[in-house]
Amino acid sequence: MKTIIKKVNRENPNEKIIMMASEIIKNGGVVAFPTETVYGLGGNSFDENAIDKIFIAKGRPQDNPLILHVSSIDEVYPLVERVDEKARLLMERFWPGPLTLVFNKSEKVSYKLTGGLDTVAIRMPKHNVALSLIKHSGVPIAAPSANTSGRPSPTEAKHVIEDMSDKIDMIIDGGSTGIGVESTVLDVSMDVPVILRPGGITIEDLLKIFPKVEYDQSILKDNVVPKSPGQKYKHYAPKAKMVVYNGEVENITTAIKNHAHQLVLEGKVVGIMATEETVANYDEGSVLVVGSRNKRDTIAQNLFSVLREFDSLNVDVILAEGIDTKGIGTAIMNRMKKACGGDIRHV
């Protein structure tokens, strides 16, 4: 198929373009659209054929659930068994925004969408294009990230075009996304909320509301089966082998310099993912700045884009600096761990 690509203004999207996209959704098609986290690959959540198209376009495993996107809190109630006080507080505090809540699903939600689980993940994006598309479509939109499964998530329309051109009906180009890493996934179906995937809403944010919030143990430890099915798969991976170095900053830069030098001697094309504070330390390889250690949100915004840029440079190995896990740092290191296949070296 020939994919339609239309640019819109993030704040005031052209209504004709949104209507065109919503008609595609209503008729069972698939549309990529921007959110405040990454671009989503959306279809009618009540149309199992549309759900199939999403899985096929992404090459996504069938047991990896999709997230439902709504445009109001009222749209949640028909989709779930119940909304308790915890969930209500979270929706009122953080929606619209990068927080996905996991509920026990109602009969209206297909098991095909939930990967066979009795739970469903729902969020309300904080993005005018996404909200307008959901409202005009008149249905909750099922939407994972708009990339080929396993690849870095798309934070710009050009990333979606790379992966999805001629595989889906339409791409809405709303410019760069804001946060850059996916939403936090929080299971509220139990007494103590559990973070299944760290993201734009941090544990520090959640602890301002609840006395106790836990991480799924797979986030903190290796060799633990994750509760969230999607977390067991390889994600965010660049084409090159990637190694992440973690520890004191001086130790990280020394280790990367030594490793880079050895790889260059072996004839390898080396990429180095540096920060603003350390970039001057490197004199070999293709060095890209991912952001500032003092402003970790800039690293989140640029992480996936930089990984894709290394792909375009055809590097053989990427050597990346780890960061501390305060605030959104947990989400960043979670993505980097998956991108490097767990090859994190402590120095």
CATH of 4-232, one of 3.40.980.10, 1.10.260.40, 3.90.870.10, 2.40.160.50: 3.90.870.10
Q: What is the pLDDT of residue 69?
A: 98
Q: What is the pLDDT of residue 227?
A: 54
- pLDDT lower than 50: segments of the chain: 229
SS3 159: helix
Distance from C-alpha of 57 to C-alpha of 80, rounded to nearest angstrom: 27
Mean pLDDT over all residues of the chain? 95
Find tokens 């979270």 and name the residue: 90
Enter the tokens of residue 266.
């072996």
Residue pair 123/184 in contact (Cβ under 8 Å)? The answer is: no
241-346, what's its fold? Rossmann fold (3.40.50)
Amino acid type, 89: L
Q: What is the pLDDT of residue 224?
A: 58
SS3 327: coil
Distance from C-alpha of 84 to C-alpha of 210, rounded to nearest angstrom: 14
Task: Please list the residue range(s) of the chain that carry CATH number 3.40.50.11030.
Answer: 241-346
Nearest to 110 by CA among 60, 162, 152, 49: 49
pLDDT in tens, 54-109: 999 999 998 899 999 999 999 999 999 999 999 999 999 999 999 999 999 999 99
What string of DSSP letters covers 193-249?
Answer: -EEEE--SS-HHHHTTT-S--EE-HHHHSTT---SSGGGGS--S--SSEEEEEESSH
CA 201, 206, 208, 209 dihedral sign is: positive
Residue 82: how many other CB atoms lie within 10 Å: 10
Q: What is the pLDDT of residue 220?
A: 78
Distance from C-alpha of 191 to C-alpha of 252, rounded to nearest angstrom: 40
pLDDT in tens, 234-249: 578 899 999 999 999 9
Task: Please list the residue range(s) of the chain that carry CATH number 3.90.870.10.
Answer: 4-232
Distance from C-alpha of 171 to C-alpha of 299, rounded to nearest angstrom: 26
β 31-33/40-44 pair status: antiparallel
Question: Residue 33: beta bridge partners?
Answer: 40
Distances (CA, A) of 241 to 264, 265, 314, 319: 15, 17, 11, 9
